[in-house]
Every structure is written in C-alpha cells, then in structure tokens.
Structure 1
Amino acid sequence: MCGWFSPPAGCAGDPRLGVGVVDEEGQRALRLSLYTDLSLRLLLYLGAVEAGGWTTTPAVARTFGVSLNHLQKVARGLTGAGYIEARQGRSGGVRLARPPAEVRLGAVVAELEGLGCLVECARGPCPLAGRCLLKHALDSAERSFIRELDRFTLADVLASPTGATLRDLIGREAEEAGEPVP
C-alpha cells in the first residue's frame, strides 16, 4: 500500500476516485489530502530538529521537494490549530508547540481532514439520508482508521528508522544549502 510519508514509485492517483490511489498491486486505497500530507511532513521535520529548535519553511520545502507556497499555508493552519509556533523577522521560523510524544497522528488527521467526510450526503438531496447503511459503514471505517493512527505519536515515528533517515536528510540539505543544521 502507498505510504503517506514518502509514497513509493508506482503509487499513482486515480482521477475517478478523488481521494483514492492505486498501489503497486493495483489495489485501491484511501489517500489523505495534500494539505494533511504536508502537515504531517512538516510536523515530522519539526520533531526531528533539535528540541525547541526553529527552522524555516523554505528549508522544509527544499528537504521534501514541495511547493513553498503550499507549505506556508500548511504552517499557518498548524499554527492556528496550536501544533506549531511561528515567528516573523530575521530570526523567524517555525517549531513544534508541543513535545512530539503529545502529538497523536490520528488527532492531527481527524482535525485536518474532518470526520464523517468520506461521503458528503449533504451535498445534494438524497432520499437515503438518515437511513443509509453505506454512510454508517464508511463512518465506522473512518473511525477505525483514526483509532489506528492514534496508536502512534510523532515521537514513535521519529524513534523508528524514519526519524534517523529524516535527520540525515535534513543535515544533508542544510549542508548543501550552506546553512547550519537545525
């Protein structure tokens, strides 16, 4: 199945599905929005830098090879949600507002994606509204997905090989840019 941190080659979006992807085995799978994907990446990056350390969104965008514009929007949203702190000016930047052990992945995804949004029954008049087993089944699956993600914190991910790989990547990118390692 395609991973959210760094999707493997062959993980391509299926335009007919909207939120789905097709993995290497041709199986359809749920996919998070780009906004949530970038939010999780930014949180991981900030968790990987020295505790309480500040970094810049351009440094994060370079490391992940993503749009600075998109990442800045994500940073504003995460600041508003209380996950990160931001400061302006010459010594400005972003950092985690909470210890990585207090940031549960399920809570982040639920807040950013919203719950009960796999299907939007309210988008148009539906004669099944309020009596639909499909909506109930999808909502139940979504709650299970969030519960599973809630088993993991940023600290858990950073304690895995993902954290070491990310810290190495951050160091290499900083050296190549001639910047101090955050």
Structure 2
Amino acid sequence: MRLTNYTDYSLRVLIFLASKPKGNLSNISEIAAAYQISKNHLMKIIHELGKMGVITTIRGRGGGIKLAVPPSEINIGTIVRKTEEDFHLVPCFEKGDAYCAISPVCGLKHVLYKALDAYLAVLDEYSLADLVVKPENYRTLLGIGDIDLSSTKKNKDN
C-alpha cells in the first residue's frame, strides 16, 4: 500500500504541530521550509485538517496554526482514511467498468481486502502522541524554535 503525497504531507503537518511546545503557533511558511514542501500544497491540507477539527487556524496578524485537540486524541488510522482518495489496491476494487475474467471466483481480492483491513487496523492502534514521543528530537531535525508566534504579537503591541 502506498500513501498519496496528500496523506503524507497531512501526517507531516500534524507531526510538526505536535512537536511544537504546547500552545505555540506555526505558519504555513515555517512548515513548508522545514519539509521543503510547496506552500500551495500545504494550504489545501491545512484547510482540510481544519475542517476535520484536528487543527485550529487563527487568521490575521499574529495568527497561525496549532493542534485543536491533544495529540493523543488524533488517531492515525482516521487521518489516513480521511485523506486518502481511495483504497483500490487493484482495479476490481473499483466500482464500474473494471473487468477481470476471474472476478466471480477470484480469491485474491478477498486476501487483498483482508490485508487492507489489517493495514488500517494497525494504523488505528496509534495516535499522533505515539508518533511524537520525543518532540525535542523533531524540533531539532525540523529547525523548530521555541518561539510562540502569538506571544510575539503581544510583545510588539506593548
């Protein structure tokens, strides 16, 4: 099974945000630079993660992005299911015109369905907190500082 870039980037965004010191805001430019990903790709992902309720976006000067719920409440299997377009491992999984001469008696598709179920069941066992056990290690690798963007705005206003 191969995840799409969309799902990969969604998980990376969540890992980045979970690595930040609690309450600190991030922005798309910061995440894009850390992973060397296009900001345009991330804009849609950030929007969708916000619609899912796993991140909060704060608009305006001093705004940014942060997790909306604790990392322990963000299930990896759920994120993968919501960000993947489909799980059609072979054409016969698709509805419509996918023709295969052996489809009526094929044992392979049942094995593949079972494998897909097992794959997703393993992902369901993990939360974002399980992935980011030592956030300081991620901060070092991603160049994440301890600067809180929301407090920077407050300091400029004083």
Q: Report the TM range for the smaller structure's normalisation.
A: 0.7 to 0.9
8 Å CA contact 2:29, 2:39 repeated in 1:
yes
Equivalent of 1:98 in 69, 72, 75: 69
* Structure 1 CA distance for aligned equivalents of residues 85 and 37 of structure 2: 23
Of the structure 1 ranges 37-46 and 100-109, higher mean CA displacement relative to structure 2 is found in 100-109
8 Å CA contact 2:18, 2:71 repeated in 1:
yes
2:50 aligned partner: 79
Q: Which has the larger radius of gyration?
A: 2
Of the structure 1 ranges 120-129 and 83-92, higher mean CA displacement relative to structure 2 is found in 120-129
> Aligned runs of 1:106-145 on 2, under 5 Å?
106-113=77-84, 116-119=87-90, 120-126=93-99, 132-145=106-119
Gaps of at least 5 residues in structure 2 are 150-158
Aligned residue pair count? 146
User: 4+ residue runs of structure 1 moved beyond 6 angstroms?
Assistant: none
Shift of the 130–95 alpha-carbon distance from structure 1 to 2, 3 Å rule, reads farther
Gaps of at least 5 residues in structure 1 are 1-29
3-state SS, counterpart of residue 54 of structure 1:
coil
Normalised by the length of structure 1, the TM-score is 0.70
8 Å CA contact 1:39, 1:74 repeated in 2:
yes
3-state SS, counterpart of residue 66 of structure 2:
strand
C-alpha displacement of 1:148: 0.9
* Structure 1 CA distance for aligned equivalents of residues 136 and 144 of structure 2: 14
1:168 aligned partner: 140
Of the structure 1 ranges 34-43 and 98-107, higher mean CA displacement relative to structure 2 is found in 98-107
Amino acid at match of 1:141: A
* Structure 2 CA distance for aligned equivalents of residues 131 and 78 of structure 1: 41
3-state SS, counterpart of residue 23 of structure 2:
coil
8 Å CA contact 1:85, 1:97 repeated in 2:
yes
Equivalent of 2:123 in 146, 149, 152: 149
Query: Which structure has more RCO (C-alpha within 8 Å, separation ≥ 6)?
Result: 2
Of the structure 1 ranges 92-101 and 113-122, higher mean CA displacement relative to structure 2 is found in 113-122
8 Å CA contact 2:16, 2:138 repeated in 1:
yes
Root mean square deviation of aligned Cα: 2.3
C-alpha displacement of 1:113: 1.5
Of the structure 1 ranges 85-94 and 132-141, higher mean CA displacement relative to structure 2 is found in 132-141
